Structure 1
Amino acid sequence: MPRHYLSLLLFITMLILSAPTRATIEQTYVAHLGALPGLINLDGSGAFVDFVRYLDAQDPSTKINIEVFPIHRAINHVAQGQADFGLPAVRPTREVSTLPFDFSEVSFGQVTHVLYTNKAVPLTVKELWANPSRYTVEAVPYYMPFKVQRSHSIKQSLLRLAAGRIDGFIWAQEEADMVLKELGLTTIKRAHFADLEDVFFIPKGEAGREIDAYLTRLITRLREEGDLAREYRKVHLPYVDWQP
């Protein structure tokens, strides 16, 4: 190779190596997601996993490593500092200070919650709100505005409801509807209960405040750009009025 070609090649190589790159990763975050049928699958697939990947792609200076676990393990990992943040979580409708984790200040959408009841034992949303202590309802206790029994799984709660062992079941629309359709239950009635804020669960203390600041910056920018709502609707939709 002629000497002047070699010199040119070395010059170009040095320019490439010395040029700044937008792909430089300055910070890596770990997200542990709790398994939800269809939305967060243990094999790493699902609409909610894709949503976090979308968030990750928006900032080339940061990297989000995603892992999926059973929900209780994902929460424990965040609470114990093994992960920076996680999903799914809904902001409590009342003050809750006894939980070992905290919630992000920023919300990325409203998740529709549905009241599922047994057609043979009518119970309206209005009746439930008026006197919740009269009824046995299963849901996630920490974010409900009144006392409920803990739901240990969507499938189990729907089957208990169909058997008449509980009066109602409240859960996020897409997750519960998916299981309801799989079970083929036709004795269940659906009604819009409430729209609650979808948030991240984060560690308590200084570590949580740092990750909260990052999430707030990211979500705020995406919302202002107008793309966040479109991507979120791939996970959760407004209430869909249908009956089994």
Structure 2
Amino acid sequence: MPRCYLPLLLFITLLNLAAPTRATIDKTYVAHLGELPGLINLDGSGAFVDFVRYLDKQDPSTKILIEVFPIHRAINSVVQGRADFGLPAVRPTREVSTLPFAFSEVSFGQVTHVLYTNRAAPLSVKELWASPSRYTIEAVPYYMPFKVQRSHSIKQSLLRLAAGRIDGFVWAQEEADLALKELGLTMIKRAHFADFDDVFFIPKGIAGREIDAYLTRLITRLREQGNLMHEYRKVHRPYVDWQP
């Protein structure tokens, strides 16, 4: 090798040694998100998906792999150990020990829930809270503070409500409003029902506690930076008072 190349090789070697190295990814987590059209889309787009991607950036030593499935499949993946955590989930208002999964201790915001009723059969939020057993309400049973019928799909419940087959439907504002507008139903009335903690669903037991600690670190970092609410408001907002 010509002697004139030696100083060049030495310079390149020293330059490489001085260059900063990328953070090593020590742990990869798998997140299975349940489809929520507009917020969690099957093609991997949506505000809730973007929120998880933003969380992923908070710790360069870990990586979150995101996949989207129908909600029941996403939950089952966490229960069966094929995924580490998932969304969406709302913290129950009462103790629910029969579920095969758990909820994260940390919450990243409150999701507004709306009571949808039929204008032809008025039902106020106050009346519902006072005597819930008198009415047929469709919602997600596990976190509702009183007994309801399970809603199998947002659009199906809204159509049943419009047809007068149920008295009310309670659901997260953004998801249900999107479906309401798509259906073009004008006989539906909206009212603020309650705000519930938005959380992750995680495995039960030791695996769940490890995931919970990891998610708590990410959310705490965002909260301390003052960025949590700014990012979360891209997903869920406070109650918006409008009528179809």
TM range (shorter): over 0.9
- Corresponding position of 2:12: 9
- Corresponding position of 1:241: 241
Does the residue aligned with 1:155 lie in a helix, a strand or coil? helix
Which stretch shows the higher mean deviation, 165-174 or 55-64?
Answer: 55-64
Structure 1, gaps ≥5 residues long: none
- Corresponding position of 2:60: 60
Question: How many residue pairs get matched?
Answer: 241
- Write the distance in 1 (CA, Å) between the matches of 2:105 and 2:206: 14
- Write the distance in 2 (CA, Å) between the matches of 1:229 and 1:24: 29
- Write the distance in 2 (CA, Å) between the matches of 1:58 and 1:224: 12
- Write the distance in 1 (CA, Å) between the matches of 2:222 and 2:83: 23
- Corresponding position of 1:172: 172
- Corresponding position of 1:80: 80
Deviation of the 1:20 alpha carbon: 4.5
Matched, 1:205 2:205: yes
- Write the distance in 2 (CA, Å) between the matches of 1:133 and 1:148: 9
- Corresponding position of 2:134: 134
Please list, as runs of the form range in 1=range in 2, the aligned pairs for 1:76-155 lying within 5 A after superposition. 76-155=76-155
Does the residue aligned with 2:152 lie in a helix, a strand or coil? coil
CA-based RMSD of the aligned residues comes to: 1.0
* Structure 1 consecutive aligned stretches of length 4 or more whose deviation exceeds 2 Å: 10-16
The residue identity in structure 2 corresponding to 1:171 is W
Identity of aligned residues (%): 82
What are the superposed Cα offsets for residues 1-58 of structure 1, whole Å, 9 maximum, x if unpaired? 5322122223323444xx553x321111100000001000000000000000010111
- Corresponding position of 2:187: 187
Structure 2, gaps ≥5 residues long: none
- Corresponding position of 2:158: 158
- Write the distance in 2 (CA, Å) between the matches of 1:7 and 1:230: 49
- Write the distance in 2 (CA, Å) between the matches of 1:239 and 1:10: 59
Deviation of the 1:161 alpha carbon: 0.1
- Write the distance in 1 (CA, Å) between the matches of 2:16 and 2:222: 36
Q: TM-score, normalised by structure 2?
A: 0.96
